[in-house]
């Protein structure tokens, strides 16, 4: 089963020893995988959620694998899931996020500097994975929630056309519960 193999690879690469909001990177990856499952995501997107930080990200530098050796992850989770992992990891957030909902919006690869325009399905997958990831991080960290919660939920509102109804409801519930409230005691 690819999920078990992916979990084994993550553990072998030390994901359970890397600190991350809410515990370890491994615990975070498992929560993102579970959230995507609760939202009804297809298996490839759930696998990408489980492995989304494999190459590091624009917001989390530690990497478990080398983006120049993508075949290692493809062998474990398949080409489609790995392509989503690479897309997520390669995203230059400051250049990409503001334009993601636009069909012709540029997507900048932080590894290569190239700019491309993913088709709508890829942008939907990217948005869904990003929302699952960020809501988990913001829920786990009062400091990050206070610093970034309002800006991220405002951004996610612009992504509504890309989000599944379940992801959209999660953003709305998060906003109602956390945004604009003091971080103390939460």
Beta strands in 9-141 (DSSP E): 19-20, 23-24, 107-108, 115-116
Share the mean pLDDT of the chain: 95
Positive or negative: CA dihedral 28, 30, 35, 41: positive
Complete domains list, the chain, with CATH = 2-178 (1.10.3210)
Report pLDDT digits (tens) over 71-84: 999 999 999 999 99
Instruction: Decide: 58 and 133 in contact? Cβ < 8 Å.
Output: no
Give CA–CA dist 66/71, Å, rounded: 10
**CA–CA distance, 6 with 17 (Å, rounded to integer):** 16
Q: Is the pTM of this model over 0.75?
A: yes
With residues binned 3-state (H G I as helix, E B as strand, rest as coil), the percentages for the chain, rounded to 5, are 65, 5, 30
Residues 32-48: pLDDT tens digits? 999 999 999 999 999 99
pLDDT, tens digit (0-9, with 9 covering 90-100), for 6-19:
999 999 999 999 99
Both tokens of residue 132?
């699952």
> For the segment 103-162, what is each residue's pLDDT rounded down to a tens digit?
999 999 999 999 999 999 999 999 999 999 999 999 999 999 999 999 999 999 999 999
Neighbours of 79 (CB within 10 A): 13
CB 77 within 8 A of CB 51: yes
């Amino acid at each position: 089963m690819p999920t078990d193999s992916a979990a084994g690879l993550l553990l072998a690469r030390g994901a359970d020893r890397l600190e991350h909001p809410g515990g370890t990177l491994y615990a975070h990856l498992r929560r993102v995988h579970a959230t995507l499952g609760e939202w009804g995501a297809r298996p490839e997107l759930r696998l990408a959620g489980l492995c989304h930080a494999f190459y590091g990200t624009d917001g989390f530098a530690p990497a478990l694998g080398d983006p120049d050796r993508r075949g290692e992850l493809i062998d474990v989770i398949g080409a489609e899931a790995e392509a989503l992992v690479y897309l997520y990891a390669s995203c230059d957030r400051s250049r990409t996020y503001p334009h993601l909902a636009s069909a012709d919006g540029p997507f900048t690869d932080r590894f290569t500097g190239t700019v491309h325009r993913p088709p709508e399905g890829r942008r939907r997958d990217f948005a869904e994975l990003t929302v699952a990831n960020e809501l988990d991080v913001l829920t786990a960290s009062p400091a990050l929630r206070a610093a970034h919660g309002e800006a991220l939920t405002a951004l996610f509102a612009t992504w509504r056309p890309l989000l599944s109804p379940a992801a959209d409801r999660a953003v709305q519930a998060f906003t109602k519960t956390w945004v604009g409230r003091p971080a103390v005691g939460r």
